[in-house]
Amino acid sequence: MRRFRQQLDQQLGFLRRSSEAYDGGAIAEACRIAAVIRVLMHDTRHCTPLLAHLGATTIQLHTTVPRWPAGEGIADSVEFFAGMGTMTLGKGVTGFKPALQHSSFHGLLPADRWWTQVVWVIPDLPRLTRRAIVLTAANKDGGAHVDEELPAEYQALARAGGVRIHLQGPDSSLALGDVQSICLRDMAYELLSSSELLELTA
152-169 pLDDT tens trace = 766 766 665 566 665 555
Which tops the pLDDT comparison, 142 or 124? 124
Q: Give the integer Cα–Cα distance in Å for 32 and 170.
A: 38
pTM of this structure: 0.85
Question: Can you tell me whether residue 49 is helix, strand or coil?
Answer: coil
First to last CA, the chain: 11
- If you average pLDDT over residues 186-193, what whole number do you get? 98
- Is the pLDDT reported for residue 172 higher than 70? no
Q: For position 154, what pLDDT does the model report?
A: 66
Range scoring the smallest mean pLDDT among 9-18, 28-37, 65-74, 193-202: 65-74
Q: What is the CA radius of gyration of the chain?
A: 17
d(CA 126, CA 153): 6
Angle of CA points 127, 184, 44, to nearest 5°: 70
Q: 52 and 41 in contact (C-beta within 8 Å)? A: no
